[in-house]
Structure 1
Amino acid sequence: MDRTTLPRLNTFAGLSLILDRVAEKRDEATWVNEQAASAHARYLLLDALGQTYLLPGRDALRWLDSGEREQLLGELKATFLGFAGERPHFLLALDDGDHAAELETRLSARRAGLRDVGLQLAADEAGLFAYAKGLAHWQRETRFCARCGSPVVLVASGHRAQCTNAECGRMHFPRTDAAVIVIVEHEGACLLGRQAGWPKGRYSTLAGFVEPGEALEDAVRREVAEESGVIVGDVHYHSSQPWPLPQSLMVGFTATAVSRTIRLRDHELEDARWFTPQDIVDGLADGSFLPSPPLSVSFRLLAHWLQQRAGLDLEALVARRAG
Structure 2
Amino acid sequence: MSTLPPIAFAGARIDRADHIRSDPVALEALRDGGRLLHMEGLDPVLTEDGRLAWSDVARLAADAELVFLGIDPDHGGIGCFAQVPAHFPREAMIAGPRSWQAMAVLPADELASYGAARALVGWHARHRFCAQSGHPTTLTKGGWQRNCTDPDCRAEHFPRTDPVTIMLVEHQGQVLLGRQPRFPAGRYSALAGFVEPGETIEEAVAREVFEEAGVRVRDVTYVASQPWPFPSSLMIGCHAQADDPAITVDTTELEDARWFSREDVGDALQAIASGDAGRSFGAPPATAIAHVLLRWWYDRGD
Quickly name the TM-score band, shorter chain normalised.
0.7 to 0.9
- Match in the other structure for 2:93: none
- Match in the other structure for 1:54: 46
1:81 aligns with 2:69: yes
> CA offsets per residue over residues 8-61 of structure 1, 9 Å max, x none?
33100123xx232111221211100111223xx32212222x0122112x2111
Quote how far apart the aligned CAs of 1:265 are: 3.5
Tell me the amino acid that sits aligned with residue 136 of structure 1: V
- Correspondences of 1:111-260 after superposition (within 5 Å): 113-260=98-245
The aligned length equals 285
Contact 1:181–1:206 (Cα < 8 Å) also in 2: yes
> CA offsets per residue over residues 183-224 of structure 1, 9 Å max, x none?
111111111111223222111000000000000111001000
- Correspondences of 1:92-107 after superposition (within 5 Å): 92-95=83-86
CA distance in 2, matches of 1:207, 1:201: 18
- Match in the other structure for 1:295: 287
Tell me, what secondary structure is at the counterpart of 1:175?
coil
Bigger drift between 207-216 and 71-80 goes to 71-80
Match of 2:59 among 63, 71, 76: 71
CA distance in 2, matches of 1:297, 1:286: 18
For residues 217 and 21 of structure 1, do their structure 2 counterparts lie closer, same or farther at Cα, with a shift above 3 Å needed? same
1:264 aligns with 2:259: no
Tell me, what secondary structure is at the counterpart of 1:32?
helix
For residues 241 and 272 of structure 1, do their structure 2 counterparts lie closer, same or farther at Cα, with a shift above 3 Å needed? same
Structure 2 residue runs of 5 or longer lacking an equivalent are: 89-95, 272-276
1:26 aligns with 2:21: yes
Tell me, what secondary structure is at the counterpart of 2:38?
strand
Match of 2:2 among 1, 5, 9: 5
Tell me, what secondary structure is at the counterpart of 1:140?
helix
RMSD of the alignment, in Å?
A: 2.1
Quote how far apart the aligned CAs of 1:72 are: 5.1
For residues 286 and 12 of structure 1, do their structure 2 counterparts lie closer, same or farther at Cα, with a shift above 3 Å needed? closer
Quote how far apart the aligned CAs of 1:74 are: 5.1
> CA offsets per residue over residues 42-95 of structure 1, 9 Å max, x none?
2212222x0122112x21111113xxx323555523211112212321112343
Tell me, what secondary structure is at the counterpart of 2:9?
coil
CA distance in 2, matches of 1:286, 1:239: 25
Tell me, what secondary structure is at the counterpart of 1:214?
coil
Tell me, what secondary structure is at the counterpart of 2:45?
strand
CA distance in 1, matches of 2:97, 2:184: 22
Quote how far apart the aligned CAs of 1:294 are: 1.6
Contact 1:201–1:287 (Cα < 8 Å) also in 2: no
CA distance in 2, matches of 1:53, 1:133: 12
CA distance in 1, matches of 2:140, 2:7: 31
Quote how far apart the aligned CAs of 1:152 are: 0.7
CA distance in 2, matches of 1:24, 1:295: 32
Quote how far apart the aligned CAs of 1:181 are: 0.1
Tell me, what secondary structure is at the counterpart of 1:124?
helix
CA distance in 2, matches of 1:286, 1:265: 25
Structure-2-length-normalised TM-score = 0.88
Quote how far apart the aligned CAs of 1:96 are: 8.1
CA distance in 1, matches of 2:87, 2:128: 17
% identical equivalent positions: 38
